[in-house]
Every structure is written in C-alpha cells, then in structure tokens.
Amino acid sequence: MQKNLPDKEKLQKIAEHIKPFIHRTPMLTSTSLNSLAGCELYFKCENFQKTGSFKIRGAMNAVFELGRNAIANGIITHSSGNFAAALAYAASRIGTKATIVMPENVTPSKRDAVLGYGAEIVYSGNVPLDREQKCDEVIASTGAVFVHPSNNINVISGHSSCAIELISDAESLDAVFAPVGGGGLLSGIAIGFKHFSHSTKIFAGEPLNADDAYRSIRSGKIVPQTHPDTIADGLRTSLGDVTFPIIKDHVSEIIRVSEEEIIDAMKLIWERLKIVAEPSGAVAFAALLKNSSLFNNKKIGIIISGGNVNVSALPF
C-alpha cells in the first residue's frame, strides 16, 4: 500500500461518520443472470443511493474532512453530472454554500437536481479549460474551497464505504468489477477491498470510446482523455495524479467495452434485476459479461454506480 493512503481503521471511521447521511444500498442477486454469466453475481446497487449515485459517499466525506471552519465561505466543484448533485446535497447537510460550475449545455434534469439542493450554478463554456477558469474566478472572489469530483483522497476514501458494505453483504468475493472514469470510485473500491477483503481481485470496466485509463496503465503515465464519445456520460473524464497510482498498484485489469456491450448490459439489468441503471452504471457488468468464461462458478461483485438517466431517451 502506498504512503498517505488511509488505513483500515480510518476507512472504518469514515464509513461510520457518513452513514447517517447516505443510504445503505441493497445488494441484489438474480438466478437468471447467474445462469447467463455462469458465475455467482452480487450487484451493489448505488442507483438507489441518495442523489442517485455513489458520489454522495465521497462528497460527504470530503466536506467532513475539510471541517466547518475551512468551508465557511462555501465549497465549489465543476461537474455536469452526479458529483454536482452530490456536493450540493452534502453542502446542504453540513450547512454551507455550494457553487457548481456547469457547462451551458447541461441536461435540464441534472441542473434542476443541483438547484433543488439549494446550490448555486455558475455556467462556463463547454470545454474543460473554461470550467477551470470559471472555478478560479469564483474561488478568488468568494474564498470557496475546491473539491475535485474524483482526484481527491477524501472523496476516494468516502467511496471505500461502498466496498465495506458489499463485503459485509457478500463475503469472500473472488473478484469485484467497478467502472472507471476519473477513477474515484475504482480507487475507493480498490483500497476498501485491499483492507477488508485482501484476496478479492479488482477489475475495471471502461468504455472503449473513452479508454484513457486503459491507455494510461499500458503506457505507465497519465494519458488524458481528449474526445470521449460514449453513452456512459459519467466515464468521460480522465485519471489524475491521485487515482492513477492507486489503480496502477491495485487493479488487476481494465476491460474495455463497446457502446453496444454497454447498452446490452444496461438492458439486462433493467429487464432482469428490474432496476434503473444509467449507462455508466452498466459498464462494470458489461466488462464481466465480456470475460465471463474466465470467472466460471466464481463469486463476483458488480458495482452498479448510478441510476440517473432520462427514461424518455433510452438507447434501446
């Protein structure tokens, strides 16, 4: 384990601390999906999480670790998706102001979720440089503290609580699959399993059309994602200097999946588990399905990361 990573006791404390503010999400199983995949599947359903995704785990811990005094002038992030709603909700629970920098072309439902939690939205252009500049402007004028959606050890450590819950519901997993975008969830799952279920192997699913994590690990250095073109909108971001070394050290393999494989997995989750998963939330399952023959009769955990999707605009 690298230096500066939280130890087992620290992760346990974090999980207890954030517990009253999040849902203990269910773990679901399906005999028909087990038959289809040829292994025992344990789905951790973060689509049922507060704000609709796992992101609230890390956001809540990030505000707690900063402490009330440090964020008296508010917190700020840039996100067009699930971390926006999560940080807005976390700020409302701790009683500080959240500012979310969003692109002008943000989905109306995502915008409304953020406003519903009482946060302020500042619009930026639609490219990463614009949003970073806008963040800097707000920070300079307000003294708000920046919280990165994924490349932040406190965010990552909060996400480890998802691993702790899954391990308690499904013991002795042979492997666990999580999606990778910015790498915050994958890093949190990896650290959690290393501490609480050391023998479980960690695998990631990544869209082929946004495969910066795969290319980064292959080349040994961070390769930023430039033109992601995937339906899995939560996985279009790049690894950072905090998430990259954790993933390099602890993840067995990153499995790339096509758009069609993502959509097929998403449809199976909806039809067989009877739950609503967003495209990003189906990527880990797609990765397992693509390689299921390697996991015959094994016990496999699958993280369904979120359920925020426009049901009127489905890909199937």
Q: Are 110 and 80 in contact (CB under 8 A)?
A: yes
Concatenated DSSP letters for 121-169?
A: EEEE-SSHHHHHHHHHHHHHHH-PEE--SSS-HHHHHHHHHHHHHHHHH
**The two three-digit tokens of residue 223, written as one number:** 């390769």
Q: Check residue 52 for interaction with its own copies (CB under 8 A).
A: yes
Q: Which is nearer to its own copies, 50 or 134 (CB)?
A: 50
| Residue 54 contacts its own copies per CB under 8 A | no
Tell me how far apart the alpha carbons of residues 213 and 30 are, in angstroms, rounded to a whole number: 30
- Residue selected from 93, 215, 248, 267 as contacting its own copies according to rule CB under 8 A: 267
Among 111, 121, 275, 292, binds its own copies (CB under 8 A): 275
Span of 121-129, 159-167, 248-256, 263-271 interacting with its own copies by CB under 8 A: 263-271
Cβ closest to its own copies, residue 32 vs residue 252: 32
Residue with smaller CB distance to its own copies, 227 or 274:
274
Region of 127-135, 138-146, 268-276, 282-290 interacting with its own copies (CB under 8 A): 268-276
* Shortest distance (Å) from residue 31 CB to its own copies: 9
Decide: is 294 part of the binding site for its own copies (CB under 8 A).
no
157-196: contacts with its own copies (CB under 8 A): none
Among 240, 211, 243, which residue's Cα sits nearest to residue 228? Answer: 211
The count of chain residues that interact with its own copies, using the rule CB under 8 A, is 15
Evaluate whether 207 touches 262 at the Cβ level (below 8 Å): yes
Minimum distance between the CB of residue 195 and its own copies, rounded to whole angstroms?
29
Strands 75-78 and 145-146, bridge-based pairing = parallel
Question: Looking up tokens 């909806």, which residue turns up?
Answer: 270
Residue (229 or 271) nearer to its own copies, CB: 271
Q: Is 108 an interacting residue with respect to its own copies (CB under 8 A)? A: no
Site for its own copies contains 208 (CB under 8 A): no
Of 8-16, 92-100, 229-237, 269-277, which part binds its own copies (CB under 8 A)?
A: 269-277
CA distances from 284 to 206, 260, 298 (A): 8, 14, 16
Beta bridge partners of 41: 300
Position 26 contacts its own copies (CB under 8 A): yes
34, 121, 270, 299: which one contacts its own copies (CB under 8 A)?
Answer: 270
Which own/partner pairs from 30-38 qualify as long-range (CB within 8 Å, at least 24 positions apart)? 30/272, 30/273, 32/272, 33/268, 33/272, 33/273, 36/268, 36/289, 37/288, 37/289, 37/292, 37/295, 37/300, 38/292, 38/293, 38/295, 38/296, 38/297
Question: For its own copies, which stretch binds (CB under 8 A), given 161-169, 186-194, 243-251, 306-314?
Answer: 306-314
Spatial separation of the C-alpha atoms in residues 126 and 66, rounded to whole Å: 29
CB-wise, 139 or 275, nearer to its own copies? 275
CB closer to its own copies out of 141 and 312: 312
What is the number of alpha carbons within 13 Å of residue 157 lying toward its C-beta? Answer: 23
Task: Give me the residues that bind its own copies (CB under 8 A), please.
Answer: 26, 47-48, 52, 267, 270-271, 274-276, 307, 311-312, 314, 316
